[in-house]
Amino acid sequence: MCQLLGMNCNVPTDICFSFTGFRARGGRTDHHRDGWGIAFFEGRGVRVFLDPQPSADSPIAELVRHYPIRSLNVIAHIRKATQGVVRLENTHPFVRELWGRYWVFAHNGNLLDYAPPLSGRFLPVGDTDSERAFCHLLDTLARRFPDGPPAPAALFATLREVVGKIAAHGEFNFLLSNGERLYAHASTRLCHLVRQAPFAAAHLCDEDLTMDFSEVTTPRDRVAVIATTPLTDNETWTPIPPGTLVSFCDGAVEELAG
């Protein structure tokens, strides 16, 4: 099973603490050694780091761990290959443009007998089921809303419909963001927490590291963190029920539907 990490905030925030524990799962505290990647939204742009090497040993991951990039939305992925060889083009997260904005996607799971028709606007570069699903998802959105992005509620409803059909082919845990919102779908395993005032100290599960968030935040800050399994052992993580799609905005759950 791959590992997913997402962050959605109401003020630009760095992910160094969470990523420190997360990267250890790529070959040190877990057996996922088939590449990793992370994408940070910065305004309308996206800063992406990808490496087909294990994250626990990656010099690029070490750079990211010490690089306090502040972002409202972040998606990271550690790969355990099920479909597609271990190469850079098969490394998540994947990025495409739709409606004049970048969209970022990372998937955990395995889709069987899945060969959706594609219009040609969005095509896979690699050979993973994950990238095909991303292209299919964006293809559907582009066809449904040819004149531009719909209202958030209509977008969420359409995502829920399409995701349900894709998930019928197997495990479809994923994170998706357009820089405004972060969408998370749990097929088997995904959880989240929201850090907000009063802030406290958090201790990582995968590294002996503690961060006192009361020292680095303001009372109005709010940060939602989404992960395959809890990253800390002294905070309350909420499991996302299987079959549930969640929209996060400004560091909080905006909409949830199973």
Q: What is the pLDDT of residues 67-87, one digit of tens each?
A: 899 999 999 999 877 877 889
Instruction: Name the pLDDT band for 46 (thresholds 50, 70, 90).
Output: very high
pLDDT tens readout for residues 227-251: 999 999 999 999 999 999 999 999 9
- Model confidence at 184: pLDDT above 90: yes
Residue 149: is the preceding peptide bond cis (ω within 30°)?
A: no
Rg (Cα) of the chain, in Å, rounded?
Answer: 17
Query: The whole model's pTM is what?
Result: 0.96
CA 132 to chain centre: 17
Please confirm, yes or no, whether 135 is among the known catalytic residues.
Answer: no
Q: Which two tokens stand for residue 37?
A: 């990647």
Catalytic residue among 2, 9, 135, 191: 2
pLDDT at 82: 83
Q: Position 202: which residue type? A: A
- pLDDT above 90 covers a percentage of the chain that reads 90
Beta-bridged to residue 44, according to DSSP, are: none
Beta strands in the chain (DSSP E): 3-13, 36-42, 45-51, 71-78, 94-98, 101-108, 173-177, 182-186, 191-196, 201-203, 210-212, 222-227, 238-239, 244-249, 252-257
